[in-house]
Structure 1
Amino acid sequence: MYETIMYEITEGIAKITLNRPDKFNAFTEQMHKELIDALKQAGKSQDVRCLVLTGAGKAFNAGQDLAEVQEGDVDFAGFLRERYNPLIMQIRQTEKPVIAAVNGVAAGAGMSLALASDIRLASEKASFINAFVNIGLVPDSGGCYFLPRIVGIGKALELAMTGSKVTAEEAYRIGLVNHVFPADSFEADVMEYAIKLAKLPTKAIGLIKRAMYKGLHMTLEETLEYEAYTQQIAGNTEDHKEGVSAFFEKRNPVFKGK
């Protein structure tokens, strides 16, 4: 079905693997189209309750394949609006948890892709490079939005201005990633983490994602009102009823994502 990515569903997990290992999984026009399509399919599928983005081979994603943009004048703004912006918005609009499983280097737009995900899990061999400045460009694909919100404005400016490499250990220390796992067991550890998320009440998680991201731009009063709105929706789900029943029956809940 796809040529530049792999897509598989296992135990409620949609695993999307960027699959250009010889090019460190760098973005091409085709990869953008396939990745957006896969995200949409996973978002709609009743069989999917969590998404994992990862890379084949040694890299997560090395950013834009510069071979695609070497010749002729480049409409940089149009390039972003057509390719990268829709991809980042698709991740944000997917009301299921999206995990970036960073197996190796995440550079440029590859780092932005990881930042746009809800949760970042890193291999001990992973690294992050805000590489835009190294070719005289500005962080894009949401890099200027997500990075200061995740690590704070001072550290974000330092990483963007210097293009310094961040190791997995340092990424965890500054809050850039949620967890670091051994390289030897990385894939298994990621799947174990994703399966736990997939067994949780998916509708509630989608509402949490929506409310928290909206809360970044709202006043306290507006956030309180939006919490009331989303709680009304969550309170009418089957998963809420199951959670309450399990509490009183002193058993583990079995959520169905409904």
Structure 2
Amino acid sequence: MGYQHILYAVDHHIATITLNRPARLNAWTATMEREVRQAMEQAADDDGVRAIVLTGAGRGFCAGADMDELKDLDPNDIKSDAWSRPFDMNRRADYQTRYGFYPALPKPVIGMLNGATAGIGLVHALYCDIRFAADTAVFTTSFSRRGLIAEHGLSWMLPLIVGHANALDLLLSARKVQACEALSMGLVNQVFPADKLLEQTSAYVRDLVDNVSPRSMRVIKRQQYDAPFQTLAENTLAANAEMSQSVLSADFREGVAHFLEKRPARFTGH
């Protein structure tokens, strides 16, 4: 499948999706929106892919919406069913919104944030499961400084990640946050020197695909994103049911065997 505004590559069971408008700091477009979603679904459906990395080309991750498109935005388009209609009723409806579908993907999505991450770019970064940032990366919600509001579930997702007080600070002020502060508030998981970001992210993701059960990752991710909608009792009962299934799986048998035999794991995801 050919893409115009992104790059898509698979290597070592890792699908890398690269926002590819470096001259515009990968400003978000309608074309990019369609292509990122297609690429995410392509990776999710590919049995040869076990993890997904989302990053940007050049100096930025995504500096927000392309202003040439934003200035012509039709308010009626925002309210249309096309923005919010679930595309797979077998998945939790909460994670079927226009941009909030990452949690419904059955594979981990790692955001490799190589530079400016603003507005809709920050939205996509937050929907990634794990975020690694370059020490030169800068973050901002942007919206209040454009006369906009917390879009696309941001007022739900951001407090879940950084807490209520930090979320209000970032949303109300739309101030710029350096990578070190982003790390301290939990906005990103780790910060690396810019020239080591690719190396360190690749090492982490390769460890996932080489040494972790794809089945375990799939179930654990679903458990994590179901939890905000469950009571403790509901969560525990669901976990008990999943545990009974996991001990019947081929990956469980392999997990025990490779440990006892002191050899690398050969997980299949089944």
TM-score, structure 2 length as denominator? 0.90
The one-letter code of the counterpart of 1:126 is A
8 A contact 1:108–1:139 mirrored in 2: no
Give the conservation status (yes or no) of the 8 Å contact 2:61–2:114: yes
Partner of 2:161: 150
Amino acid at match of 1:222: E
Alpha-carbon distance change, 51 to 87 in structure 1, aligned in 2, over 3 angstroms: farther
2:251 corresponds, among 231, 239, 253, to 239
Secondary structure of residue in 2 paired with 1:100: strand
- In 2: Cα distance, 1:178 partner to 1:39 partner: 22
Task: Find the residue that maps to 2:64 and give its secondary structure.
Answer: coil
Whether the 8 Å contact between 1:32 and 1:87 is mirrored in structure 2 is no
Q: In the TM superposition, what are the counterparts of 1:47-196 in structure 2 within 5 Å?
A: 47-71=48-72, 73-75=74-76, 77-78=78-79, 82=83, 86-196=97-207
The letter of the residue matching 2:241 is Y
Letter in 2 for 1:30: T
SS of corresponding position for 2:79: helix
Identical amino acids, percent of aligned pairs: 37
Q: How many corresponding residue pairs?
A: 258
Distance 2:5 2:49 in 1: 21
- Tell me which amino acid in the other structure corresponds to 1:89: G
User: Is the contact between residue 113 and residue 141 of structure 1 (CA under 8 Å) also seen in structure 2?
Assistant: no
Q: CA RMSD in A?
A: 1.9
Bigger mean CA deviation after superposition, 90-99 or 37-46: 90-99
Give the distance between the partners of 2:247 and 2:176, measured in 1 at CA: 45
CA offsets, 1:151-174, max 9 Å, x none? 110110011000011111111111
1:162-212 superposed Cα distances (whole Å, 9 cap, x missing partner): 001111111111111111111112112111111111121111111001011
Structure 2 gaps, min length 5: 86-95
Task: Kindly indicate whether the alpha-carbon contact (under 8 Å) linking 1:12 and 1:49 is maintained by their aligned counterparts in 2.
Answer: yes
Unmatched runs of 5 consecutive residues or more in structure 1: none
Question: Residue type of the partner of 1:145?
Answer: W
Which residue of 2 is the match for residue 20 of structure 1?
21
Partner of 2:90: none
Q: Look up the SS of the partner of 1:89 in the other structure.
A: coil
Q: Partners of 2:165 and 2:57 in 1: how far apart? A: 33
Shift of 1:63: 1.8
Moved more, 226-235 or 126-135: 226-235
Q: Secondary structure at the match of 1:75?
A: helix
1-structure distance, mates of 2:151, 2:98: 12
Shift of 1:245: 1.2
Letter in 2 for 1:212: Q
Taking the aligned partners of 2:106 and 2:41, their CA distance within structure 1 comes to 11
Question: Could you tell me whether the CA contact under 8 Å between 1:96 and 1:205 is conserved in 2?
Answer: yes
For 1:123 and 1:166, the matched residues in 2 are separated by 13
